Structure 1
Amino acid sequence: MTTVRALLEIPELRLRLRTGAGRLGCAVSRIYVTELPDPSRYVSAGEVVLTGLLWWREPGDAEPFVAALDRAGVAALAASGADTGGIPPDVVQACTRHRIPLLEVPADLSFAVITERVVLELAAARGREPSAARKRLLAAATEDISLPALMRQGAVELGAPCWVLSATGRVVAGPADPPDDLAGQVEHVVPGRDLTVHDGCALIPVGGSFAVPWLLAVGHPEPGELAGELADLVRLARARTDQVRRMAARPAEPLLHALADGGPVTDAVAAAGLPEDSEIRVLLARAPDDGPDLAAEVLAELLAEARPVVGVVGEDACALIAGPGNWMRVAAEGLARADRLMSWSGFRLGSGGPAGVDGLHGAMQEARHAVELAARRGGRIELVAGEDLAVHQLLAAGAPDELRRSVRERVLGPLLAYDAAQGTDLVHSVRVYLECSSSPTAAARALHVHVNTLRYRITRASELLGVDLNDFVTQVDVYLALQVTV
């Protein structure tokens, strides 16, 4: 059994205990890398959580992070203060309060070296010396952290081509010119199964509680135990890749803040790495029960081929994409393919633009209205492109909830009350009548009633509302009120 004390005694790691001496006997099950402010969805008992403290911005940030580790029952927190000028005092204090061992990682020690050494220690403690093939895979994972290099070495050791697939169907890494049906293999994965074999290809889930799962695909129906080891190394590589992505997103934070607050964006666009002369599309995502960090992770995975700038704006995740491309279609196809393997409860996506730098605020507003409209729909996954919305839909989506309720009640109240009391549906008849350009003949045909019946319903609705439903201005008011959902 490997304990926290055993990790402290590995000389090449040079870990220093900052607090938590009373729990050095805790057993270690594995190592997990994260930079999420709230890692509660992804950590589990016995893990050593490794972090570069990218989530820490100010005093007070440590308590929710460390509390999540405590609830999960992690064995220890290993932190590098290379980017924060040392481990912040409130991180030490939070670990002390929650009695979690805090191991300080030397600033000059890479996470790749730590993960390799801990994995080897865990293997040795389980009573099995890593094979020569596994040692070569570990060397490839640490000497060259790129997934393509790991897949090349994996293919050599397994004697079969290897690819990493996203649950969206995207080929993340592997040999060029993959089989035409490789992306479609994702649809045959059995959720919860350690191995799925389809059409001569083995599909192995990559560990880790990521929002969008990855899979290791091996071009052999019986890949052997080493394939599982390779999948574990892909998990570690993904964690490092995710850490790099979060670090790369930091220069974009001023731009995201400017878009959220309505501030100037010209200088911030260049700092974020977006071309100033390009059309930019804005996508906003919302995961109602899981928060903006998970939504940002999903966005980054769905749109990986676009190399988006991804961050958090308020309660939403935001992606900025320069250049052409139907990225809402790409997102829709990826979500449809990955949905059955997802663990989150719902996802809403809205888009705005494309627009130049001068129109970026407008594109953000359009995306915000689109995601608000998507949020008012009831499906597990809802996508609304701002460019597909009519003006009246944008106006209705942008209104505050209290104003929406007030407008709906003021304009339609008597009609809604009558339908509720009488069991009728005059509201629907009025909607169809207006959508048929106030043509009684067309509306009657759409409702499958006689035209005189339709005329009676419109007359009765006019009486209840106290308005003339043949008046154009009144029709606009009523139709806008009909678009409001609360």
Structure 2
Amino acid sequence: MRAGTALLDRPVSRVYVTELPNPGRYVSAGELVVSGLLWWRGPGDSEGFVAELVKAGAAALAASGADSDGIPEDLVEACTRHGIPLLEVPTDLSFSVVTERVVLALAAAAEGARKRLLSAATEDASVETLLERARAEIGLPCWVVPAGTPSDLVRRFVAAGGRSLEADDVSVRPVGGRHALPWLLAIGGPLTAAQAEIAEELAGLIGLARTRADEVRAVTDRVLEPLLAALDEGSDPHAALTATGLRGDLRVVVARTEGSEAARGILTELLPPGALVGPAGETTWALAEDDGEWPEDWPATATAALSTVEALLPCRRVLIGVSDRSPVSVLRGAKEVARYALAVATERPGTIEVVPGGEIGMHRLLLAGAPDDLRAALRRRVLGPLLSYDAEQGTDLVHTLRVFLECSGSPTRAARALHVHVNTLRYRIGRASELLGTDLTEFTEQLDVYLALSAGS
């Protein structure tokens, strides 16, 4: 040791051999730089060389003085001044031997780290336990980011097609496994080759731990099945509800995906902890406690999360309906509200539609409870003459009437919405009144007609 004896605890990432006088652009942080000093011509040459090594973050310099009559004194002084360890390589020792020893040591360290992580995984270690072990092995902070978290890091991961990337001093690896919403393994810093190998192993092991946790949860969530059956059958749900362990007011959530069976995984990832999730036919249902801390913006948050990773979703569409906060006494009704909210989501054109029951009008919920045949009969009874007239004449008075009523019966607003003159609007509404045999300026008549219009939507 010629300099920096107190700095020997620095980690080494790899070996770099150079004879360039200005090697900075080729040196990476943590490297052991090995040089035969062929660049040295006289006193003063060492300052720039050492300064560039320090700027690049080199761990140490190993130099041989075989071609310079020993280690130059100005090199020792420069290394001491800049705080970088300087090791003298004996003249009879080949650089290939030095390089081989370092490479083998690094490989052994990486292999040992992988074995220790694998041992932890076989002991059914949790994700957090694996991350703690990895932080000790890699020497950098490690954390998991659900891909449904709207953030710049996640957006860059999605833009990269869900593949590994280096972004703003954070190294990202996709967590292994086939899941509806992917996870990211983030590591706080650029990785050496050995660290990158450990990171790949860690990403796979976290995926296995996640899969195990999902399997355990699927078994636990089976307690929801008797409750869903009781609600569908109209039997007393209290015993089944008690078995679930859920207490207080509840939210009912229902989801369906098109193109794959990803609904369960999506709800499991997006809903608050403690929610129960279970399939029932073509849909997946969930019950979550609402003790006043349920996020009222959950539909918007869920939509944002899913939209962020839309390109990586394993399905064509994600459709979700959410009930209002409901006591147990009206749980069956809450389930119907969620069911109808899902139907509304299905009618909408978006790839991701999350519909809260609170945004659906009372009249639509009441109509939703009527059988399809009854709704069709009511629509024909009230609107029959108007429907026939439109079919025969090629007009669209039904649409005009709907817009008129949705504008609270205001001819001015309705004309503006339809981009027609207000007198044209009044004529059309007058013609519709004649065909229906009703006075469309009366509130009760407007209500009957609007319900009939809604019965077909």
Structure 1 stretch displaced more, 235-244 or 193-202: 193-202
Quick one: distance in 2 between partners of 1:210 and 1:228?
A: 18
Give the one of 257, 260, 270 matched to 1:302: 270
Residues in 2 aligned to 1:135 and 1:337: alpha-carbon distance in whole angstroms: 35
Paired position in structure 1 for 2:115 = 135
Assess if the C-alpha contact under 8 Å between 2:256 and 2:319 holds in 1: yes
Give 1:134 shift: 0.7
The equivalences for 1:156-305 within 5 A come to 156-169=136-149, 183-189=151-157, 190-222=159-191, 224-275=196-247, 278-291=248-261, 294-303=262-271, 305=272
1:453 aligned to which of 413, 420, 424 = 424
Computed over aligned residues only, the root mean square deviation of the Cα atoms, in angstroms, reads 2.6
Matched, 1:341 2:312: yes
Q: Would the aligned equivalents of 2:264 and 2:279 in 1 still touch at CA under 8 Å?
A: yes
Alignment of 1:296-335 (within 5 A): 296-303=264-271, 305-322=272-289, 323-324=291-292, 325=294, 326=296, 327-335=298-306
Query: What are the superposed Cα offsets for residues 359-385 of structure 1, whole Å, 9 maximum, x if unpaired?
Result: 211211211121122122222111111
Question: Structure 2: how far apart are the matches of 1:410 and 1:483?
Answer: 14
Bigger radius of gyration among the two: 2
Which whole-Å CA distance do the structure 2 matches of 1:284 and 1:256 have between them? 11
| Alpha-carbon shift at residue 301 of structure 1 (Å) | 0.7
- 1:484 deviates by 4.0
Code of the residue aligned with 2:268 in structure 1: it is A
**2: CA distance, partners of 1:383 / 1:414:** 37
| Structure 1 residues 330 and 148: CA distance shift in structure 2, 3 A | same
- Distance change (3 Å), C-alpha of 1:455 and 1:345: same
Structure 2 stretches lacking a partner, 5+ long: 1-107
Structure 2 length as normaliser, TM-score?
0.68
* 1:365 and 2:332 are equivalent in the alignment: no
Asked whether the equivalents of residues 280 and 356 of structure 1 are also in contact (C-alpha less than 8 Å), the reply is yes
The 2-side partners of 1:289 and 1:404 are apart by 31
User: Residues 270 and 421 from structure 1, CA distance in 2 versus in 1: closer, same or farther, beyond 3 angstroms?
Assistant: same
Q: 2:399 corresponds to which letter in structure 1?
A: H
Pairing of 1:325-474 with structure 2 (within 5 A): 325=294, 326=296, 327-416=298-387, 418-419=389-390, 424-474=395-445
1:466 is displaced (CA, Å) by 4.3
Shift of 1:232: 0.9
Distance in 1 separating the partners of 2:374 and 2:259: 25
1:99 maps to none
CA drift at 1:418 = 4.5
Query: What's the CA shift for 1:403?
Result: 4.4
One-letter identity of the residue aligned with 2:202: L
CA distance, structure 2, for counterparts of residue 284 and residue 193 of structure 1: 28
Deviation of residue 225 (structure 1)?
2.2
Distance 1:377 1:397 in 2: 16
> What is the distance in 1 between the residues matched to 2:315 and 2:199?
27
Structure 1 pair 407–211 and aligned structure 2 pair: CA distance change class (3 A): farther
Cα distance change, pair 237–427 in 1 and its aligned pair in 2 (3 A)? same
- Flag the 1:248–1:193 CA change in 2: closer, same or farther, 3 A: closer
| 394-403 or 424-433, which deviates more | 394-403
Secondary structure in 2 matching 1:355: coil
* Percent of pairs with identical residues: 48
Closer, same or farther: CA 194–432 of 1 in aligned 2, 3 Å: closer
Normalised to the residue count of structure 1, the TM-score between the two structures is 0.65
